[in-house]
Structure 1
Amino acid sequence: MIPTLGFDGRRVLVLGLGRTGQAAAASLAAGGAEALVWDDSATAREAAEAQGLKLADPSRSETWENLAALVVSPGIPHLYPEPNRWIAAALDRGVPVDNDIGLFFRSLGQSDWDSFDTPPRVIAVTGSNGKSTTSALIHHVLVEDGREAQLAGNIGRGVLDIDPPGDGGVVVLELSSYQTELARALTPDVAVFTNLSPDHLDRHGGMGGYFAAKRRLFSEGGPDRAVIGVDEAEGRFLANQLSEGPEDMRVIRISSGTKLGGPGWSVFVRKGFLSETRKGKQVGSIDMREIAGLPGAHNHQNATAAYAALRAIGLGPRQIEAGFKSFRGLPHRSQRVGEKDGVTFVNDSKATNVDSAAKALAAFPRIRWIVGGQVKEGGLGSLSNATENVVKAYVIGRHAAETALDLGDLPLEVCETMETAVARAAEEAEEGDTVLLAPAAASFDQYDNFEKRGEHFARLVAALPGVTSAN
């Protein structure tokens, strides 16, 4: 656990009692604060009391007396579409509002660091798509290389749950916009921006607010190195804002598909080869075509981000390449779950929006596409230019018939259930085909979350006669 510093003997209220809130309360108490907790759910409050946590009802004026801070869980809105009522009360009273990420950064440095040969470092990854894979890939390479590393934040453990890092230790954080938008301290050693595409726009008041939430990771504390994906205008703008000029080596520009040059530091993948250049000269390369766990342009972008971050803390190209080759991917993200007679089955249940689905569709040559679910605003019409590799679509979801209308002239079959879709795709698939679950939609019409949806797909594939595991 990372004890929260700066609140010794002071009262702090934690709002929201999920994993994040419980860890924040324990961390505050470990640091000497009087940790108070609240959740609007009576069930959550009962569970908290059973664990010995001290409830404090924010509807009572005495709860706010001498309150040093309000620490909120990431799912609670503080501005758009409208502030939570207790956050609004804190704003009215001038009580500082923070989250667990802010507590982590203000508290990470410990007194024993003075005796370390190499101070611990933090690599923080944000962006719309690929941040989980990028974070996991960085962590995997570090562990494979024998380094002390911990994975936390929006993936792995909560940031305050991790162990205090040791000499030379690295903490890898995946940070969502919900986490970066409110943290009062954001001071990673290396910060990574993968890409930007529309998501969570109601929470951030539009695309500008969404980008601003991501940008805070780079503007609030100023990382020693910034790794910036420049395949979108926002990334190019951010790289420009952070750089003092083309030669500024504090900014590493990355791209999937575009050759980058110039006098600065860049990493890009083109035609299956990752290249690192500095001062106009190539200083490292990896043949990505040989790396099964990172298929497709979107995973190549993840690889450029991970490679750049690892190079920024001193790993060599061959160390990174070795880690890449042993990486098997994350569950539900271009995860190969089975093979049969030359047909590969891939679980990309995390492709919950059209942008991530389009990237999955570009990763394989002949696709039997399982698509559908709770389709987000805008529908699937924008995917029409991304389906050239699709042999046939198998549409699932409670509103599968309506979803099918968005797919135009694409050969398709309305299946509604995952069972039917997997069975029909497997029956019709030929050698060289990929049966790909990339729903381009949320899961909530039929599943609790995208993980449950992906797990169901994987179980159905494993039950098919003759299928062998791809792991």
Structure 2
Amino acid sequence: MRIADLVGQRVAIWGFGREGRAAITAIRAQLPALPLALYCSEAEVDAARAFDPALTVHGIEPDALALSACDVVVKSPGISIYKPAVTTAQAQGTVFTSGTALWFGGHPDARVVAVTGTKGKSTTTALLAHLARSLDVRTALAGNIGLPLLELDGQSADLWAIELSSFQTGEAGPLELAVVTSLYEEHLDWHGSRERYVADKLRLGDRARTLLVNGQQANLLAQTAGHPDRRVFGDAQGWHVADGFIRRGARDVFPVAQLGVPGLHNALNASAALAALELLGYDALAAAPALATFRPLPHRLQPLGRRDGLDWINDSIATTPPAVVAALESLPGREISVLVGGYDRGVDWAPFVTHVQAHPPRAIVCMGANGPRIEAALVAGNVACPVSRVADLAAAVEAGRAATPAGGVVLMSPGAPSFDQFKDYAERGRRFATLAGFEADVTGIDGLGIR
């Protein structure tokens, strides 16, 4: 569906976050006379009316009856397509679309590589854009990484590096290349089950001529075996990591120690970006030296600096237990107090418990709504390090500070969403920075937009 197809339709926007505002702006630019309704929270009503006085604003969550009165609803990504009100309205004929779908509908000829995955998708997408730009390719970096596609509506680029979440993968149009960095258990509250999460995530491959996947994940290889043009990164024949180098087959290409982001998992992300660049026909070997100048994304193993004799690392983006394991593995030989916990989605913490049984950190501080459940799992696993439980992030920071020796690391890698205490992971990351004694403005992502 294109924005032009909304002419004569009864259209509502559902959600007044950045995606919702981008949709309103883009629709107004093309169809200024089209009546638009908006469903948002009661607290957002005044801001919405100030943003666009022509909107009909409803400060409520729409029910099936309200949604069924619309021909088209442009919903924000965080609103599940499996909500009963949505499925009921769909059965009555309401079409649900999104800013992502509208952008793809309006840009059928764009050269797109879309990246998804439970973890690594943001860094891989940003790395891909950074590498392409090092070759003087005019590249757009947008999508779930922090810039809605519709904010770039009407602009052109030679390559579009787009991150898509599992909420958005089914909304993509036809594309040249899809990349899946990893596949774990996440967002079960939105998708309803692990099976549906996996199926929704991999819908991106159905849209892509070529599919590039992580060859180190057997489950991902099995799930994508039927794709007509599946390629692999992370194995010894292609781009992979071995013996301290990012390699292309048997050739050492780039030392992992010189990579601008820490951790072997980020070296694997860099391998994915290089493999994608090569599949697109660019000179990945010529681009590889630019890996040294890539800056870590905020809230993703982001070093904040040293305070009180301790190194503080913000990994607020970590919303699954395997992500915490990856964070710990990226800091070998360090004395680490790790702060874990947040909103409880009921995911299994066994991978984390197994890891810290074999590699206990200096201390583990459990916080938030699922803190008691994590603590119980650690105690049952007889983890050989101090385990404590606190109510909130402020108390967790103090506990981490007290437990960590001089020269050690306080790592916030929650392994859970932030919604029990914060609006999103970015707000949580900013709060952590402030509590640790740093500037709260740690949100800027280098390279968003078209360059």
TM-score, with structure 1 as normaliser: 0.79
| Deviations 1:197-233 (CA, angstroms, capped at 9, x unpaired) | 11112322312211111111111x333x321113323
Kept in 2: contact 1:268–1:275 (CA 8 A) = yes
Q: For residue 294 of structure 1, give the secondary structure of its aligned residue in structure 2.
A: coil
Aligned to 1:74: 77
Moved over 6 A (4+): 56-65
Kept in 2: contact 1:275–1:284 (CA 8 A) = yes
Q: For residue 241 of structure 1, give the secondary structure of its aligned residue in structure 2.
A: coil
For residue 336 of structure 1, what is the amino acid of its counterpart? P
For residue 218 of structure 1, what is the amino acid of its counterpart? G
Kept in 1: contact 2:307–2:436 (CA 8 A) = no
Q: For residue 407 of structure 1, give the secondary structure of its aligned residue in structure 2.
A: helix
For 1:38-437, list aligned pairs within 5 A. 38-39=38-39, 41-50=41-50, 51-55=52-56, 68-79=71-82, 82-83=83-84, 85=85, 87-109=86-108, 120-166=110-156, 169-181=158-170, 183=171, 185-219=172-206, 221-223=207-209, 225-243=210-228, 250-255=229-234, 259-261=235-237, 266-277=238-249, 282=250, 285-291=253-259, 293-339=260-306, 344-365=311-332, 366-374=334-342, 375-378=344-347, 380-387=349-356, 388-398=358-368, 403-408=374-379, 409-412=383-386, 414=388, 416=390, 418=393, 421-422=396-397, 425=400, 429=404, 433-437=408-412
Q: How many pairs align?
A: 426
Q: For residue 241 of structure 2, give the secondary structure of its aligned residue in structure 1.
A: strand
**Pairwise CA distance, 1:156:** 2.4
1:163, 1:28 → 2: CA distance? 10
Kept in 1: contact 2:366–2:387 (CA 8 A) = no
For the structure 1 residues 312 and 383, does the alpha-carbon distance in structure 2 shift closer, same or farther, using more than 3 Å as the test? same
Kept in 2: contact 1:350–1:438 (CA 8 A) = yes
**Pairwise CA distance, 1:270:** 2.2
**Pairwise CA distance, 1:158:** 0.9
Say which is worse superposed, 127-136 or 438-447, in terms of deviation: 438-447
1:350, 1:62 → 2: CA distance? 35
| Deviations 1:104-125 (CA, angstroms, capped at 9, x unpaired) | 111014xxxxxxxxx7522211
1:122, 1:13 → 2: CA distance? 28
Kept in 2: contact 1:29–1:35 (CA 8 A) = no
1:148, 1:171 → 2: CA distance? 9
For the structure 1 residues 350 and 410, does the alpha-carbon distance in structure 2 shift closer, same or farther, using more than 3 Å as the test? farther
| Deviations 1:217-256 (CA, angstroms, capped at 9, x unpaired) | 111x333x3211133234202442113xxxxxx432012x
**Pairwise CA distance, 1:305:** 1.7
For the structure 1 residues 419 and 92, does the alpha-carbon distance in structure 2 shift closer, same or farther, using more than 3 Å as the test? closer
Aligned to 1:452: 427
For residue 52 of structure 1, what is the amino acid of its counterpart? P
Kept in 1: contact 2:368–2:393 (CA 8 A) = no
Q: For residue 151 of structure 2, give the secondary structure of its aligned residue in structure 1.
A: coil
2:55, 2:211 → 1: CA distance? 41
Kept in 2: contact 1:368–1:390 (CA 8 A) = no
Kept in 2: contact 1:274–1:288 (CA 8 A) = yes
1:428, 1:11 → 2: CA distance? 58
For the structure 1 residues 460 and 120, does the alpha-carbon distance in structure 2 shift closer, same or farther, using more than 3 Å as the test? same
For residue 197 of structure 1, what is the amino acid of its counterpart? Y
**Pairwise CA distance, 1:129:** 0.8
Percent identity of paired positions between Structure 1 and Structure 2:
30
For the structure 1 residues 53 and 152, does the alpha-carbon distance in structure 2 shift closer, same or farther, using more than 3 Å as the test? farther
Structure 2: runs of 5 or more not aligned: 440-451
> Greater RCO between the two (CA within 8 Å, min separation 6)?
2
Q: For residue 177 of structure 1, give the secondary structure of its aligned residue in structure 2.
A: coil
Structure 1: runs of 5 or more not aligned: 110-118, 244-249, 465-471
2:63, 2:422 → 1: CA distance? 35
For the structure 1 residues 236 and 46, does the alpha-carbon distance in structure 2 shift closer, same or farther, using more than 3 Å as the test? same
1:283, 1:385 → 2: CA distance? 34
Aligned to 1:36: 36
Kept in 2: contact 1:273–1:285 (CA 8 A) = yes
| Deviations 1:389-435 (CA, angstroms, capped at 9, x unpaired) | 44311414256566433323332253636556545655665577433
For residue 358 of structure 1, what is the amino acid of its counterpart? V
For residue 241 of structure 1, what is the amino acid of its counterpart? G
For residue 377 of structure 2, what is the amino acid of its counterpart? D
For the structure 1 residues 449 and 222, does the alpha-carbon distance in structure 2 shift closer, same or farther, using more than 3 Å as the test? closer
Kept in 2: contact 1:294–1:303 (CA 8 A) = no
1:45, 1:325 → 2: CA distance? 46
1:203, 1:163 → 2: CA distance? 28
**Pairwise CA distance, 1:297:** 2.5
Whose radius of gyration is greater, 1 or 2?
1
Say which is worse superposed, 95-104 or 312-321, in terms of deviation: 312-321
TM-score, with structure 2 as normaliser: 0.82
